[in-house]
Amino acid sequence: MTKILIELHYLPCLDYWKTILEAHNLGKKVILEANENYTKQSYRNRTYILGANGKLALTVPVQKGSQRINIKEVKIDYSTDWNRQHWQSIKSAYGKSPFFIHYADFLEPIYENPPVLLWEFNYKLLTICQKLLRISIPIKNTENFEKEVDSQILDKRNTISPKKTAIFAHQEYYQIFGNKFENRFNLDTENKFIFENNLSILDLLFNEGTNALTIISGK
């Protein structure tokens, strides 16, 4: 197999980045599925961050009737100020994290003036995240939709989903709102850190900065 096929996500989780990074390191070309129909309740318009009250879903609203529309034609619903809400949630969650001040200026402008189409919004964020991770993975789009792909393509479409458990047990890293629990049976034992696995790439970037790529790679 010389290629990997995957759909485009909103601020992808660590499973997504590890999947495409491993493929790229093995010399596989990364192809985005650009001709599927939109699928609701997926990572296409949803991501998860970690705030003071725990895990939080950020969902980009799309216009009604989007499910049978080509993914590149799906329009974002601007009947609410969702973009301001998303950015405020991100600031609340990571404003005091070590690397927020270094990365916020790359991301805030797209939330201040997001595009009409979901695909364009997601693709811009994917490009920004590659820059912040200091990687360059050439990515091409499909020219048409194929339910069954040839033997040279590793089909990863729909394998990473909020409805499924994480594929990888990612290397633990510092999380500013990481939870702790008390050991009720031994008062002399320190509270233990509970790591929240497979969040949006933003969680890793804001908390670990330039070390993010090393953590994704598991080295």
For every residue of 155-211, DSSP letters joined together read E-TTSS-TTS--SS-PPP---TT-EEE--TT-TTSPPEEE---S-BHHHHHHHHGGG
Q: How far apart (Å, rounded) are the C-alpha atoms in residues 18 and 24?
A: 10
Question: Residue 181 falls within a domain, yes or no?
Answer: no
The answer as to whether 21 is a domain residue is yes
Number of domains in the chain: 1
Does residue 172 have a pLDDT over 80? yes
The residue that leads in pLDDT, 133 or 183, is 133
The answer to whether residue 183 is domain-embedded is no
What one-letter code names the amino acid at 36?
E
pTM metric for this prediction: 0.93
CB proximity list for 86: less than 8 A, separation 6 or greater = 58, 60, 111
Q: Does residue 185 form part of some domain?
A: no
pLDDT band at 183 (very low <50, low <70, confident <90, very high): very low
Element (H, E) at 55: strand 54-59
> Does 97 reside within a domain?
yes
Q: How far, in Å, CA of 69 to CA of 88, rounded?
A: 30
The kind and range of the H/E element at 120 are: helix 118-133
What is the distance between the terminal CA atoms of the chain, rounded to a whole angstrom?
25
Does some domain include residue 184? no
Which pLDDT band, with edges at 50, 70 and 90, does 184 fall under?
A: very low
Which of these, 175, 200, 210, lies nearest to 11 by C-alpha position?
Answer: 200
Over the stretch 14-69, which tens digit does the pLDDT of each residue have?
A: 999 999 999 999 999 999 999 999 999 999 999 999 999 999 999 999 998 877 89
Q: Which residues contact 67 (CB under 8 A, 6 or more apart)?
A: 37, 38, 39, 40
Q: Which one, of 59, 81, 54, 55, lies nearest residue 9 by Cα?
A: 59
* E runs forming strands in 70-164: 139-141, 153-155
- Average per-residue pLDDT for the chain: 93
Q: Is the pLDDT of residue 185 over 60?
A: no
Which domain, by its residues, includes 51?
3-176+190-217
| Whether 134 contacts 157, CB under 8 Å | no
pLDDT digits (tens, 9 = 90+) for 94-141: 999 999 999 999 999 999 999 999 999 999 999 999 999 999 999 999
Residue 142 has pLDDT above 50, yes or no: yes
Structure tokens at 115: 């595009």
* Cα separation, 198 vs 173, whole angstroms: 11
What number of other Cβ atoms are within 10 A of residue 148's Cβ? 6
